[in-house]
Amino acid sequence: MSSIADNIGSVTRRIQKATLQAGRAPGSVNLLAVSKTRSPEELHAAVKAGQTAFGENYLQEALDKMQALSSVNGIEWHFIGPIQSNKTRQIAEAFAWVHSVDRLKIARRLSEQRPGEQPPLNICLQVNVNNEASKSGCRLEALDELVAAIGELPNLRLRGLMAIPDPGQSEADLRLSFRKLASTLSTLRQNHPESGPLDTLSMGMSGDLETAIAEGSTWVRVGTAVFGDRPAKHSQS
């Protein structure tokens, strides 16, 4: 069985190769290790292998890990799961990034509840890139208004867009979904230069990171290829 360190090395080489093949600058794509359901010990092994950014879906589980790993320097915590209104304060206080903001109400709460002594919270807007009825995320046609409104919020730094395309799509359709998200970000950057850096595309996972990088991803969210097969699902909030 491969160790977590071996897996991180393998994923890093995949990212580097895909970045080179896409003609992009070395280091322009970051690895976000998706660590939901993983133990603090597994995360510590990943940190020892050089991984610093971790993506969590479940708030309470994440807070428990933050406590368990509080003596470990350099960890950057990203929230990537659905956001309930009653969880925004703890998310605003504990995380450096939030990839899953999909409506203005949540953005306002995160801005209001971000502690003043901390830097602005980096956020990405989760986009329902193909307007699937079963998917969460902001619809493409609503993004322009949402970006403009978030640009007025003082404690947020709007970094870009995130999407979770249907994994059942063909590779060609998946590529089109990634390309649509990249094109949308480019348009928003032109239309809203005052709203934030808009320099981030959070897209691509273990099975499709090469395609995502070819279409402009700057954060690939990888769980299984880093930590191995996920344990049995369990319900958390």
CA angle 55, 59, 63 (to 5 degrees): 85
Return the structure tokens found at 92: 């605003």
Return the structure tokens found at 155: 């404690």
pTM of the model: 0.95
pLDDT digits (tens, 9 = 90+) for 182-214: 999 999 999 999 999 999 999 999 999 999 999
Cβ pair 182, 215 in contact under 8 A: yes
Which residues fall within 8 angstroms of residue 112, CB to CB, at 6 or more apart?
155
Specify the pLDDT at position 232.
61
Q: CATH for 4-224, among 3.20.20.10, 3.40.1160.10, 3.30.365.10, 1.10.287.470?
A: 3.20.20.10
Specify the pLDDT at position 233.
58
> Considering only 49-58, 91-100, 108-117, 161-170, which range has the smallest mean pLDDT?
161-170
pLDDT, mean over the chain: 95
Confidence of residue 166 (pLDDT cuts 50, 70, 90): confident
pLDDT digits (tens, 9 = 90+) for 113-159: 999 999 999 999 999 998 877 778 999 999 999 999 999 999 999 99
φ/ψ of 150, rounded to 5, equals: -70, -30
Cβ pair 199, 123 in contact under 8 A: no
